[in-house]
Amino acid sequence: MVTIASVSVLPLVFTSGWASGVNAYAVVLLLGVFGATGLTDEVPESLQRTDVLLAAGILFACEAVADKIPYVDSVWDTVHTVIRPVSGAVVAALLAGQSGSLPDLAAGAIGGSTALASHAVKAGTRMAVNTSPEPFSNIVLSTAEDLGVAGILTFAMFHPEAAAIIAGVLLLTGLALLLFLVSRIRRFLRRRAERREEKRLTARVGWPPG
């Protein structure tokens, strides 16, 4: 059995924060399952409750579908701009409270800010991908994200420091990629605004005639 309390909980807090920014429901579901199955003693009982696991499972299934549909994924990301960082902060605070090796408030700040950063990377990358007319990029990217969250969070149960390093590298790489894609995202938003304006003017003047 893994004993996370023997080391600082900070690596797991950081990793769970990064993962929450990508898929908060998967984090809650996986941690709850890890705790309920006895893989680790350091997952709070509040995350192992049956109602929490059921809710997380249902919401994870909803995200798994919405996250693979062009434009729907961006709407979903917009809605979760608050949800993912808050979830990351709450999970981090719970983990810290369970281990007692890091103040809850500090853990919440780390988990929440890391989740916000990884959420920004995910949302920005999806906006760039949605400029492509084909839907396969969304499906491939979403599947890779889900597998990445599951793999790294599981790895963190056995090697929290190494997992945190991987999560940090992915976060920095994602931020660099996001900066590279900013111009493309801006063009996409500008074109969408122009199309909306054209539709508004068309509706106002009734052109072209029927």
Stretch 75-91: mean pLDDT? 95
pLDDT at 188 over 80: no
Confidence (pLDDT) at 4: 38
The domain locations on the chain are 7-205
Query: Of 18-22, 129-133, 149-153, which range is least confident?
Result: 129-133
What is the rounded CA–CA span in Å between residue 186 and residue 124?
Answer: 10
What is the rounded CA–CA span in Å between residue 112 and residue 94?
Answer: 12
Token pair, residue 35, equals 């705790």
Confidence label for 178 from pLDDT (cuts 50, 70 and 90): confident
Confidence (pLDDT) at 24: 96
Nearest to 149 by CA among 47, 10, 18: 18
pLDDT at 42 over 60: yes
Confidence (pLDDT) at 165: 97
